Amino acid sequence: MSVSELKERHVAATETVNSLRERLKQKRLLLLDTDIAGHARAQGRNPVSFGPTDLVCCRILQGHTGKVYSLDWTPEKNRIVSASQDGRLIVWNALTSQKTHAIKLPCAWVMTCAFSPAGQSVACGGLDSVCSIFNLNSPTDKDGNLTVSRMLSGHKGYVSSCQYVPDEDTHLITSSGDQTCVLWDITTGLRTSVFGGEFQSGHTADVLSVSISGSNSRMFVSGSCDSTARLWDTRVASRAVRTFHGHEGDVNAVKFFPDGNRFGTGSDDGTCRLFDVRTGHQLQVYYQQHGDSEIPHVTSIAFSISGRLLFAGYSNGDCYVWDTLLAEVVLNLGSLQNSHEGRISCLGLSADGSALCTGSWDTNLKIWAFGGHRKVI
């Protein structure tokens, strides 16, 4: 068979696959006769009522001299690690606002950070394509800096996100600009599994975010510049379990719903979306009209402890609190006193759900707590 014949067959096969994909998409749309908000309204459900004093800024963490890019809470709820353009990781006591560690990084271009489940070490990664681990209990060098206890090298592009496997200090998952995710064994410093890359079911552009299921630590979801999110099983690295379409821009953030059966996404297209892991269906779109002005990108998301609230940070400094059931904005932290003066780059909820921390390009982190008579939702 000649090369030209092979090319013709390849083109024909591609057209067939695209046609089948479009037919499948239309079939799925026919099955989606309603969304969560439509069903909830039909049941007479009311949105969560939120006043300006129900979520208040109780702490401002000042110390970074550059844009804050990433943050993470410890499982025991009272410590936060943040990563900034100033080339430092800072570990904060969230109750007192005091810094417990200020770690000067080997590479200043950091993009992500994470606390280990036991809270004894932190991980970070960035444009150096390496994930660095720091043991917070290690002695400092002569200049007072913590030294890197482990360097996880193997990515061929920047490290965009990292997360420890729940209840395991020895394994973490990273995502990268090389279109892959990697499961690492921190003890040996070696890659246990690589997800994507040469495999057909992998992402076709930079992977920007990962989220590991809290109810089944073998499952994780990734978001990418290819406008998709993909579900992976760490036991089967050769193919994604499922691919989720719907976004029309880079998927900057992914986060599992508390029950592990759903996950949320945030994208450059200005929307957050909720997907069902089991059916692959899109359950809800969360979008606020902005008139004729430029649509702000969603940079980061988090769910409340029950899942009834979705916190979403935006590139214009807004931070919406969405009612996930009715797809309505119940509060915009960006409109409150003490709000950030720049892009919201990252946010995260404490383990007990009692406080939200936001990080911004204005170099500050802010802790928001449920105030007044408001209970944690």
pLDDT digits (tens, 9 = 90+) for 148-176: 999 999 999 999 999 999 988 999 999 99
Residue 359 has what pLDDT? 97
* HEC readout, 58-126: EEEECCCCCCEEEEEECCCCCEEEEEECCCEEEEEECCCCCEEEEEECCCCCEEEEEECCCCCEEEEEE
CA 24 to chain centre: 28
Confidence of residue 376 (pLDDT cuts 50, 70, 90): low
pLDDT surpassing 80 at residue 28: no
pLDDT surpassing 90 at residue 226: yes
Residue 82 has what pLDDT? 98
Confidence of residue 26 (pLDDT cuts 50, 70, 90): confident
Higher-confidence residue of 200 and 250: namely: 250
Mean pLDDT of 190-211: 90
Confidence of residue 219 (pLDDT cuts 50, 70, 90): very high
Residue 337 has what pLDDT? 80
Higher-confidence residue of 320 and 200: namely: 320
Which residue's structure tokens are 């089967």? 236
- Measured between alpha carbons, how far apart are the two ends of the chain, in Å? 64
Handedness of CA 301, 302, 303, 309 (dihedral sign): negative
Burial of 33 (0-12, 13-18, 19+ CB in 10 A): exposed
Cβ atoms 195, 202 nearer than 8 A? yes
Mean pLDDT of the chain: 91
Instruction: Give me the amino acid identity at 131.
Output: C
What are 48-86's pLDDT values in tens digits? Answer: 777 767 888 999 999 999 999 999 999 886 999 999 999
| Spatial separation of the C-alpha atoms in residues 168 and 264, rounded to whole Å | 24
Confidence of residue 372 (pLDDT cuts 50, 70, 90): low
What are 265-307's pLDDT values in tens digits? Answer: 999 999 999 999 999 999 999 998 876 678 999 999 999 999 9
What are 94-125's pLDDT values in tens digits? Answer: 999 999 999 999 889 999 999 999 999 999 99
Residue 304 has what pLDDT? 94
Confidence of residue 33 (pLDDT cuts 50, 70, 90): low
Residue 375 has what pLDDT? 60
Residue 266 has what pLDDT? 98
Residue 52 has what pLDDT? 66
List CB contacts of 275: < 8 A, sequence separation 6 or more.
229, 244, 246, 262, 263, 264, 265, 281, 282, 283
Mean pLDDT of 316-345: 92
List CB contacts of 207: < 8 A, sequence separation 6 or more.
160, 161, 175, 176, 177, 179, 180, 181, 196, 222, 223, 224, 225
